[in-house]
Every structure is written in structure tokens, then in C-alpha cells.
Structure 1
Amino acid sequence: MAEGIVIVFDFDRTLIDGDSDNWVVTEMGLTEIFHQLRFTLPWNRLMDRMMTELHSQGRSVQDIEACLQRIMPIDSHIVEAIKSAKSLGCDLKIVSDANQFFIEKILEQHDLLDCFSDIYTNPTSVDEIGKLRISPYHGGGAAASTPPHSCNLCPPNLCKGLVMDHIRASSSSPKDQILTRFIYLGDGGGDFCPTLKLRECDCVMPRTNYPLWKRISDNPSLIKADVKEWSSAEELQRILMQLFTSCEYLLVGSSVKLGNDCKLYPSSHIFGNTELGESCVLMNGAVVGDELPGGYTVIGGNNIIGHHAVVGVKCQDLKYKQEPQSSTSSVILALSLSLAVVLWFQDVPKYMMVTGERGELRGLNLEGLRRNGFTMSKEHNQDLCSVPTVGAMLQSIRDSFTDGRRGICKFRQWLDS
């Protein structure tokens, strides 16, 4: 199952190939007045004005619905991808600058409405005289969902980045927020803001040669998420299926001891002589344990091992040795953080120490340096010592030995040395 994955779709030019607003304007004969008003009103208010025009012509809400049901069909590849993702346990949502009425009627026509747990878009209503009204998602008074926003990347009526923040925060617990992986599909400039909200473990799927793709291409250093571009519905389906099905297998070795309530996500592996405490979580791609002779890995309860993190492979920390081992090359890792939540996203450099939920470098492992031959002799590494920063670091290490300290040698101490 693909539980723990949230797939967020834009609607126009992503889930459907065209634009629902433009379709209604064209098919219902509003092109001339639309172009007359195009640059006098914001898009959201302009579409509300078009609904007023239709009502003045005697066109009903049912007429608009019939027009939407004649819209170009959703490509069968996208329909299959949506239904497959839903059946595998993914949480599907829509975040769109279209509007509630248009989106829901189109999804109903293709029997897809129930596949989506939430639709975040400009709300609609039918007033007392039977006119369809379209309101902004942000800052539209009583009919609006949320207060105004100040994001300079998004149009006034909808900030998709704030919506993404809301979706992530709506998880039932902080742990669920960490564990959830997002896949975001979009095409427009308004999809850039939510893309910036994605993490390294997430994925963004921009449509090739559309505004979102261009902004990502122009600003690659701002993007943390994996980028998978697509140009056709068939390619979208193939990539999306790979993302939530390629990690469907996990491996648990025969010698592994698992505590109660552990959760192992797809493509995680735990093997060797390994013990995992209660309520631990292995995210997608995490590897714990080692098959080396005499290897022994112990992790306490309530720990999270992050996406693609590797723990216990050729690790050694003798301070936490719990019992005599039969081999001096034993792999020993016993985490004393039994009540903490720990999350790593990449390997820790040699002899460095990290802290925090998102691991940050906090100092040097002085015991590890000592065991591996570091001495206080100033004759060593004279060339490196000529570099002020390196010299300060080495002097700080020497000071740590002199003072009899063990463990972390903080960066601020390096600067003060």
C-alpha cells in the first residue's frame, strides 16, 4: 500500500488538458465581452462577472452544468492513474485557481469526485435569484474560505503555498507531518509557491514548457523536492505510477526483532542481528542493520529513521556497548534516545555530531578522533594549520583534550579559540 503519500493536483492544464474557465467562456458565447473586460478586472472577479452576464441572458446554472459536461474528456491515462493511486491508499487532493462548481461537475461526469479527499479552490454558490457566484478563496468576505494573504508570488484570490501549509498542518500529529510524502502536479506560475514548500523527500511534477517548469528551470537552487517533468497524460501516468509503486516492497531479515507498533514504509529494509524498539518508523528507502559477522544493531523506541537514511552499516560506538561481543569488528549501535524523535536526511560526515529533528551539525566526535590516532602534536598537518579556520578548529580540539572534555566541541568555541 502507498499510505503516507499525498498527491496534490492542479486542475486546469494538469488534471484536464484544457482550461475550464476558457471552455465555458467560449462555448457559451461570452468571448467578446470577456475580452472587453479582460484587463479591467482580476481573473476571479472577471469569471464572476461572466456568470452575471449569463444570468442576464436567461442562462441557468443547469445550462452551465450541461456545458461543463460537454468539456473535453479527461485523458484515460490520468483517470487510470487517479483510480490506481486511490486504490493503493494515496490521499488525493486538488488545489486549483478554477472554481468549486466547474471542478466538481467535471469530476462527477468522469466518476472521479469521490477519489479526492479535499478540493481547495475558489468557492461558488447560487444566490437567491438563481445566479452562480464565484468568490475568491482568500479575502472575499463572508463567502471566502480564508482571510486575505500577502504572498507576492500568488494572485490575490488564492495562495497555493498557504494551502499546502494548511494541508501539512492538518495531519493528526507532528509525527504524521514528518512521515507524509507529497507529490505535487502542476503547470502554472501559481504552482511555484507550493513547490517551494516541498521537502527533499517530496516530488514536484511540472508540465514541460509550461510556466511552472520554466520557473523551476530558472531557479533550481530554490527547489528542494525531486523534479519529474511530464509532457503528456501517458507520461504523467507512467511517472506517477513509478513514484508510488516502485517502493512497494520491503525486506525484514530472519534475525530481526521488531518491537510492537513499528511501521515500515515501502522500500525500507531491516536485516542482520538487529533489534528495533517499540513504535519505531522506517521511512521509504531507510536501511537499518548489517549482515557483517558479529554485527549487532539496537535502536530504542519511538525513533524515526528518515527517507533513504542508513543506520547501523559499519557503524561503531563503543560507549553504548551493552554486552560483550564475539568479534572486535562488531557493528554496535544502541541509540539512547528512547523517547526522542530523530530524523536524518543524509549521512553524517566523519567525526561530526548532529542534533535536531532535521539533523544539523553541532560539533566533533572527540572520542572518535582520539581512537583514530588524533594527537595534540602541533607538528602534524602544518599546511592545514596555515588556514585560519582549520587552525582554529584543530586548536579547539586540542583545547578540548587539555580540558578533559568529551563529546561535542561547539562551533562557537571554534570561533573563540
Structure 2
Amino acid sequence: MTTLVYINNSLFFCLFVCFGNCFLAAMKFLLVFDFDHTIVDENSDTWIVKCAPEKKLPNGLRNSYQPGHWTEYMGRVFAYLGDNGVKEDEMKRTMTTIPFTTGMVDLLGFIGENKDLFDCIIVSDSNTVFIDWILKAADFHKVFDEVFTNPAAFSSAGYLTVQNFHAHHCVKCPKNLCKRKVLKEFLDKQLEQGVSYAQIVYIGDGGNDLCPVMFLKKDDVAMPRQGYTLEKKISQLAQDLSPVECSVLVWSSATDIMSYLKLLIKE
């Protein structure tokens, strides 16, 4: 049965025992991050609504979302902002005020200092423009080797547009993005180049993070954010006697994640 371990200092010895076979400083590790409510402490797509008139959307637009079709919905939101004269500069100023999750600045700094040990990617249902703005404003863009998210760009008329990341056949995921498929294709590409990983650490919060977590193997680690949907879904799987194969460590601050990574690479 899956055991959800909650990280704190008193559990360091337990972590050494449970994951001792993975504490090899000479090995390389893959860190996979979600973005919204993981790297940043908000949903970037709803944060942009601060640019809308009176900082809210009309009821008809807000109620037009259909489950599994978030990207199409955001396309309508961006069109509404453009129709109301919201320009790129205003959007960028707004997005770069979004707060990072507690401890995340220190965590990303630590990863950046240890890039010889960590490959680091983002797999997110946000978009390329928002993530690029936010990471570059904080000078964290070099921490990440690749970002997989919905392509976005400004049209000649100055409207922000967004497209689905890819097509897939996974019935568990939203139409525009299956994070399991992204992770599998990334690992396959790395393997073709002779790169394999001692361990994958998947850090996320949302329901769409469960599909890639189910792909992880026994030596890998899923790190769901405490109190969010991913933690609840993993707990439910354990209760239903269909637990995930990987180990599970729950975090509440990015400092918890950094503590685990420091153990992981300690000689």
C-alpha cells in the first residue's frame, strides 16, 4: 500500500533508510515540475484576470468553460482582454507580480547551483508566454532544461493567442495535454542520447499530475503538495488498493523539497 510521507526534520533518518539505494551523488536525477500552485503560488491563467475591467470577467465568459477544454476557454479570455484594450506590457507587468510558492526561490537557486546533478523540466497547462515572463523576471529560466506547455504568442493585432500543446488519446487527461505522454517522450528522447536517470522526482499539485505520477517506477518519487488535489487522489488510490508504484513524499513548502534533494545528493 502507498504510504504518504510528510517531510520534516524528524523524518530524515527514515528517508535515508527508505531511499538509501538512491543516495548516489555521482548519479543524475530528473526533476519534473508543474507550474501553477507549485512553482508559483497561484494559477497564472486566473491571475491574468487582474488585467480585466474591474478585475473580473463577465458571467457569460466565466461560465463558458467546459471540462477538459481549458485552453479554448483561455483563448476566449485573452480575446476579451484584447477587445478591452489590454496590451502586452500591462499583461507582462501583472504576470511578473505573481508570488512564488514559499521556499521556491531558495529551491530553484539550489537546483541552479547543482545543475551537474539535476536535469529539470516544467510540464504545465499554463502557456509559454506566461512562464517565460515569470522565470526570466526572476532570473530562473536557466534552471530549466525544457518547458513543455501550451504555445502562446501575440498576434499582429496585439492579442494574446494560445494553442493546445499536443493531441493525445489519454481519456484521463484534458484534451490539450497529457503529462504522462510528455514525460515518456522526453525520457525516450534522452535515452536515445544516452541519458538515463537514477531517479525521477515529480513535483506537482493538480489532478492532471496524477497521470504522469502513475507512470513513475518504484525507485522514483512523487511529491504532491499538501492539501491539494494530487495528494488527495494518491491517497484515494491507496484506499482503493490500487496505489502508485513510486514512493510518495508530501510537501508544504519548497524548503521540504530542497531538504530531500540535499539528502539525495549527499555523499
**1:37 and 2:70 are equivalent in the alignment:** no
Contact 1:69 1:105 in 2 (8 A): yes
The 2-side partners of 1:108 and 1:161 are apart by 27
1:241 aligns with 2:259: yes
Equivalent residue, structure 2, for 1:133: 161
Deviation at 1:22, TM superposition (A): 0.9
Name stretches of at least 5 consecutive residues in structure 1 with no aligned partner.
Answer: 139-147, 250-417
2:176 is matched with which residue?
157
> 2:123 matched to 1:104?
no
8 A contact 2:50–2:94 mirrored in 1:
no
Task: Flag the structure with larger Rg.
Answer: 1
| Corresponding position: 1:202 with 2:220 | yes
Letter in structure 1 aligned against 2:88 = V
CA distances 1:280-330 after superposition (whole Å, capped 9, x unpaired): xxxxxxxxxxxxxxxxxxxxxxxxxxxxxxxxxxxxxxxxxxxxxxxxxxx
Q: Which whole-Å CA distance do the structure 2 matches of 1:182 and 1:2 have between them?
A: 15
Give the equivalent residue in structure 2 for 1:123. 151
CA offsets, 1:8-32, max 9 Å, x none?
1101111111111111114433422
**1:50 and 1:100 mapped to 2: Cα distance?**
16
Equivalent-residue separation in structure 1 for 2:230 and 2:137 (angstroms)? 28
Q: Which residue of 2 aligns with 1:19?
A: 43
3-state secondary structure, aligned to 1:176: coil
Q: How high is the sequence identity, in percent, across the aligned residues? A: 30
3-state SS of 2:103 partner: helix
Relative to 1, partners in 2 of residues 1:132 and 1:174: Cα closer, same or farther, differing over 3 Å?
Answer: closer
The equivalent position to 1:85 in structure 2, one of 106, 111, 132, is 111
Q: Deviations over 1:7-65 (max 9, x none)?
A: 11101111111111111114433422542423499211111111111111122122211
- Counterpart residue type for residue 239 of structure 1: I
Contact 2:199 2:219 in 1 (8 A): yes
Deviation at 1:173, TM superposition (A): 4.0
The answer to whether the 8 A contact 1:125-1:132 is kept is yes
Where 2:157 maps in the other structure, the secondary structure is coil
The yes-or-no answer on 1:57 pairing with 2:95 is no
Structure 1 length as normaliser, TM-score?
A: 0.53
Q: Which has the higher contact order (CA 8 A, sep 6+)?
A: 2
Classify the secondary structure of the residue corresponding to 2:30.
Answer: strand
3-state SS in 2 of match to 1:17: coil
In structure 2, relative to structure 1, the CA distance for the partners of 1:6 and 1:192 (3 Å cut) is same
Out of 80, 96, 106, the residue aligned to residue 69 of structure 1 is 96
Where 1:128 maps in the other structure, the secondary structure is: coil
Counterpart CA distance in 2 for 1:43 and 1:59 is 21
User: How far, CA to CA, are the matches of 2:51 and 2:158 in structure 1?
Assistant: 21
User: Closer, same or farther in 2 for the Cα pair 1:193/1:76, shift >3 Å?
Assistant: closer
Matching residue of 1:184 = 202
Once the two structures are TM-superposed, the CA of residue 246 in structure 1 deviates from its matched residue by 4.2
Residues in 2 aligned to 1:95 and 1:46: alpha-carbon distance in whole angstroms: 20
The AA in structure 2 aligned to 1:121 is T
Mapped partners of 2:84, 2:51: distance in 1: 14
Q: How far has the Cα of 1:180 moved from its partner? A: 3.9
Q: CA separation in 1, counterparts of 2:135 and 2:218?
A: 31
Q: Name the TM-score, length of structure 2 as normaliser.
A: 0.81
Residues 242 and 24 of structure 1, relative CA distance in 2, 3 Å threshold: same
Distance change >3 Å, CA 99–CA 174, structure 1 → 2? closer
Is residue 6 of structure 1 aligned with residue 13 of structure 2? no
8 Å Cα contact 1:74-1:110 kept in structure 2: no
Structure 2: how far apart are the matches of 1:199 and 1:40?
Answer: 29
**2:248 matches 1:227:** yes
Q: Deviations over 1:152-175 (max 9, x none)?
A: 111000000001101211214486
- Structure 2 unpaired stretches of 5+: 1-24
Q: Using a 3 Å threshold, how does the CA distance of structure 1 residues 40 and 246 change in structure 2: closer, same or farther?
A: closer
How many aligned residue pairs are there? 235
Richer in helix (by share): 2
Q: Is the 8 A contact 2:164 2:177 kept in 1?
A: yes
State the match for 1:263 in structure 2: none
Which residue is equivalent to 2:8? none
